[in-house]
Structure formats: C-alpha cells, structure tokens
Amino acid sequence: MLTYFALQTFLKRRAYKHLETALQKDIKAFFGDYKNAMATAQAVLFQIGKAELIATACLQASEQGLGHLDEEQALYLHSQVVEQLPTVLRIYIGCATVLYGDIEQTDLIKIHSQSGKLSLMRYDDFQQLPLPRLLERVKVNLRQQSFDLYQYGEEFEPTYLYVKSRYINEEFPNYAEQLSFDEHLQALNLFDLSGYGPRPDAFRDTLAKARWAIDGFNLLRSQTIPDLDAPCGQNLTYRQLIECGETQQRLGLANRPKQPDSYTALYDLATHILDPLIDYFGMISLTYGFCSHELGKHINKRIAPKLDQHAAHELNTKKNLICPRLGAAIDFIVDDENMREVADWVAENTPFDRLYFYAEDRPIHVSYGPDQKGEYIDLVMTETGRQVPKKHKGAFINSWINKP
C-alpha cells in the first residue's frame, strides 16, 4: 500500500471518494485516514532521493539472492523479482516506470544507487540463451525526470551478457544449466569477465582459437578444421606441429589430421606444455610431431603408434583409434641446453601425461592427454644395444598432479 500511495503521490493524487471500497477499508485499518496514508507515503517517496538508503536496500536485496551488487554498489536484478524487493526499491523502480512506461518487456534492471538513475535492459531471448545479447537500454534519470534510449543492432553490435547466473536465482528457468555453463566458461581462464567483459568479436575469436564451441547451455570442443597456419597456442602454428618430422619433410606427405579432435589435442599440448616451456627456455626445435596413419606406414623403426600418442585422435583403416591413449605428443630439443634439465623442468612445471628422456643431448618426447599421468621415463641403453624404459626416480614425479 505504501508503494501504491507513493507512486500516486509521484503522479497525481486520487480523490478518496474515487478509491475502491476495499482500499478505503484498508486505509482506515492501517493508517486511520487518507491524509495520514498519503503523508506516510510521501515520506517514503522522499527516501528514494537518499543515496545511502538506496545503497543499503540494494545490499539487503543482494544478500537475499534478489540480484547482483557490483563494485560500484549498483544492483542488477531480473524484472520478475521486483515485487520481492524492499519497499524503497520498489518505489524507486515504480517512479522510473511512471517516467518511461511499463517494464513488462524489460529483462534486467540496474539500480544506480549513488546517482539517482535506473537502467532498463532488454535482451535477445534472455531465458533460452546462455549469452543473451543486449538489444535495448533505457537510462532513466529520476532527479531530472528524463530518460535516454539506446538501441543496438546494425550500427552497434549487441554486447553479450556474461555470467547470467549472477542475475537470476533457483526459481528462474534453466538456472542449473546456466550456472554450470558460467562455471565452465570461467574455468577456461580465457577471458576477463569483470565489468562488461570482452567485446563480442573478441570473445568469439578467442573461444574459436581455443577450440571451444557453444551448443545450447554446453561448452564443447570445436568440431571444425582450422587453417594450418592458424596459431596453435601462443608461439606455434598447427603446421609447425604437423610438418616437423624428418620422414614427413623428406617424403613431402601432407600428413594432415582428419579428426577435429586431433587439432584440439595439438592445441592443448601447445598451451599446457609447449607455451610455458618456450616462455621459460626460449624457442624450441621440433623434431617429430603429429603422425598420420599414412605417415606411420613409412616409419619402420623405434615407434609404437598404439602407445606414443603421436597419432592424436586419428583412426586407422578399420575406423579404430590408432592410439587409445588419445591426447597428442611432440619430440623436441632446446639448443644449448642440457635436456635432462629441460625434462626435469617439464616434469615439475607442467601437467604432462608421459615424458621419455633419451640423453642429455637428444630430443625428449612429451605428451599431453586426458589422463595426465605424469609418467617420467628414462630410456636406458643396455649392453646389448636395446633401450629399456625405467621410471625416473626424481623427487618431483607427479608433482604437478599432487600440487594443492
């Protein structure tokens, strides 16, 4: 009733005789008479001009799970929860609707607690999209009793609403799916989602380069085939990881991965293992990388395609995985470095799957895969000339996996 009468004061007071009979009875029961009701409502109305009271009410609403309070003490909330807000905020929003009009088409409301302003935002399919696009924004200035309308489309690309789960609660449709999507997106550590987040084109480009795609409320690894000269991580390209073997270069075989997941495995190998390594030691020399089924037919010695992960996610002629371990592998050497020291650094600082060390002056083999077993193997030469694998006994074996 206070909200109703406060807005009546903001508009034009209705004569008591024109009020419904039930409302007249409520006035008598709660306020004694109409004059006292309007005086009380007017006092509440004047409170919306006090920034400290609005800020306190915004904090109270956010603590009740009715919206998200940002670092500037502005409260973002969905229009469906307006009726659950503290009275002073309902009046604050109600005054804005008096100036602008109905908010039925509004999705998000932003209460600027310090400036006497209110923003009404409409999105493209807010309920069904994990990243709805902003189509229209209205900024209402209560102190000046004016508003500005901003529309997005051809001239200004609509921005995405990131971390939508902040602004809704468990009662909202698809809340659980939205929360899962937001947690997954943040866990990728690809974006700074504070403030308004990245521009849409930058967001899409970064997501695509990292081999991720959005399918409904799910984030899935991309099923596209990238350009060979596209970046694979920060320092290398896909071509460099594919056309680096001696046999491939000698024969000139295309050696192209056919499975999209193979490109994703190469990307993960580059970002989790090779990029940190290059940042620390400088550029490395690749000696053996991806090996297609066709290339493997021409390499007859010292390879184990079912185990070494060089085939990534490729299939043989029977449509079975060449290497069931999945992931991807690379052999490399760092010029002018003791490769034992390089291998030890990889073992201690990256989430590798398997690492094979041959000698201090020879390339090492390292893989990244779904298991991330952290197996560090020394290939020891016996008196008969055979190489025998022995688990390295360094103190940091599996240190990455065991980090808190």
At residue 404, does pLDDT exceed 50? no
Domain that holds residue 272: 231-391
Of the listed ranges 27-41, 58-72, 305-319, 335-349, the least confidently predicted one is 27-41
Overall domain count for the chain: 2
372 shares a domain with 283: yes
How high is the pLDDT of residue 8?
Answer: 62
Determine what percent of the chain is predicted with pLDDT higher than 70: 88
126 shares a domain with 261: no
Asked if the structure places residue 359 within a domain, the reply is yes
296 shares a domain with 379: yes
How high is the pLDDT of residue 32?
Answer: 77
287 shares a domain with 156: no
For residues 392 and 377, the answer to whether their CB atoms sit within 8 Å is yes
How high is the pLDDT of residue 144?
Answer: 81
Asked if the structure places residue 252 within a domain, the reply is yes
237 shares a domain with 385: yes
Asked if the structure places residue 176 within a domain, the reply is no
Report pLDDT digits (tens) over 9-64.
655 666 667 677 877 777 777 877 777 776 766 666 666 678 888 889 999 999 99
Give 339's Cβ-side CA count (13 Å radius): 20
160 shares a domain with 44: yes
How high is the pLDDT of residue 193?
Answer: 93
For residues 339 and 357, the answer to whether their CB atoms sit within 8 Å is yes
How high is the pLDDT of residue 44?
Answer: 67
148 shares a domain with 239: no
First to last CA, the chain: 55
CA–CA gap between residue 399 and residue 349 (Å, rounded): 8
Asked if the structure places residue 404 within a domain, the reply is no
For residues 60 and 77, the answer to whether their CB atoms sit within 8 Å is no
The domain boundary, picked from 166, 197, 220, lies at 166
How high is the pLDDT of residue 5?
Answer: 61
Residues 6+ apart with CB under 8 A from 179: 165
Report pLDDT digits (tens) over 139-169.
988 778 788 888 887 777 899 999 999 999 8
At residue 387, does pLDDT exceed 60? yes
How high is the pLDDT of residue 133?
Answer: 95
At residue 326, does pLDDT exceed 90? yes
**What is each CA distance from 314 to 218, 261, 286, in whole angstroms?**
25, 8, 21
Q: What is the mean pLDDT of residues 59-87?
A: 90
The domain boundary, picked from 166, 181, 202, lies at 166
Number of helices (H), then strands (E), belonging to the chain: the values are 13, 16
Asked if the structure places residue 253 within a domain, the reply is yes
Of the listed ranges 112-121, 187-196, 321-330, the least confidently predicted one is 112-121
Query: Which residue's entry shows tokens 């390089």?
Result: 342
How high is the pLDDT of residue 104?
Answer: 76
pLDDT class of 386 with cuts at 50, 70, 90:
confident
For residues 400 and 352, the answer to whether their CB atoms sit within 8 Å is yes
How high is the pLDDT of residue 115?
Answer: 84
How high is the pLDDT of residue 219?
Answer: 97
pLDDT class of 6 with cuts at 50, 70, 90:
low
At residue 96, does pLDDT exceed 80? no
CA–CA gap between residue 136 and residue 122 (Å, rounded): 5
Asked if the structure places residue 98 within a domain, the reply is yes
The residue length of the chain stands at 404
For residues 217 and 225, the answer to whether their CB atoms sit within 8 Å is no
Secondary element (H or E) of residue 134: strand 133-141
Cβ count near 107 (within 10 Å): 24
15 shares a domain with 88: yes
CATH at residue 284 = 3.30.1380
Asked if the structure places residue 402 within a domain, the reply is no
56 by DSSP, 3-state: which?
Answer: helix
Determine what percent of the chain is predicted with pLDDT higher than 90: 59
How high is the pLDDT of residue 88?
Answer: 85
Q: What is the mean pLDDT of the chain?
A: 88
29 shares a domain with 142: yes
Report pLDDT digits (tens) over 262-273.
999 999 999 999
For residues 317 and 271, the answer to whether their CB atoms sit within 8 Å is no
